[in-house]
């Protein structure tokens, strides 16, 4: 596995290709806990490992700290609401990201520094390029190749 540290600007350029894509799949809860996975129509994926929030019309629907019970938990029921939505815009605030979707949905993914845990905050994977951009627990951006 190769890794290089990148600037936030390079990640912004790469993730801008997400604008205009459709969310094909969005799941969280159950055995995965509150890890949130979005699969996009361009084949790329966004995975949030730590804290995130889903909004509709600026009203908070659920967070990563809500009930993760499979099928019936609020996370399991809310995450699929992002499916079939179009990514309309993306904004960054340092290492936090807001993904604005059609029908007034918004996914906010937050990053926290944690020196005691190496679990990433979130990542953006591009399978066609065989790379994953990751916001680490040290608030660094790594580009990983699985070759």
Look up tokens 């660094």; give the residue.
140
pLDDT one-digit tens code per residue, 121-133: 999 999 998 989 9
Q: Mention every residue, 6+ apart, whose C-beta is less than 8 A from residue 6.
A: 133, 141, 142, 143
> pTM, whole model, 2 decimals?
0.91
Cα first-last separation, the chain: 6
pLDDT one-digit tens code per residue, 24-76: 999 998 777 899 999 999 999 999 999 999 999 999 999 999 988 888 899 99
Encode burial over 21-55: b for 16+ CB neighbours within 10 A, e otherwise: bebeebbbbeeeebbbebbbebebbbbbbbbbbbb
Longest Cα separation, the chain? 42
């Amino acid at each position: 596995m190769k890794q290089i540290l990148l600037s936030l600007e390079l990640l912004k350029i790469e993730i801008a290709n997400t604008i205009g894509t459709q969310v094909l799949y969005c799941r969280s809860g159950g055995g995965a806990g509150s890890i949130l996975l979005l699969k996009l129509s361009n084949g790329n994926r966004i995975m949030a490992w730590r804290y995130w929030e889903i909004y509709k019309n600026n009203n908070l629907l659920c967070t990563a700290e809500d009930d993760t019970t499979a099928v019936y938990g609020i996370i399991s029921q809310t995450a699929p609401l992002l499916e079939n939505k179009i990514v309309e815009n993306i904004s960054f605030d340092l290492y936090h990201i807001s993904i604005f979707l059609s029908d007034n949905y918004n996914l906010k993914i937050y990053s926290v520094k944690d020196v005691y845990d190496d679990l990433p905050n979130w990542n953006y994977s591009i399978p066609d390029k065989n790379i994953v951009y990751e916001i680490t627990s040290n608030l660094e951006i790594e580009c990983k190749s699985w070759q």
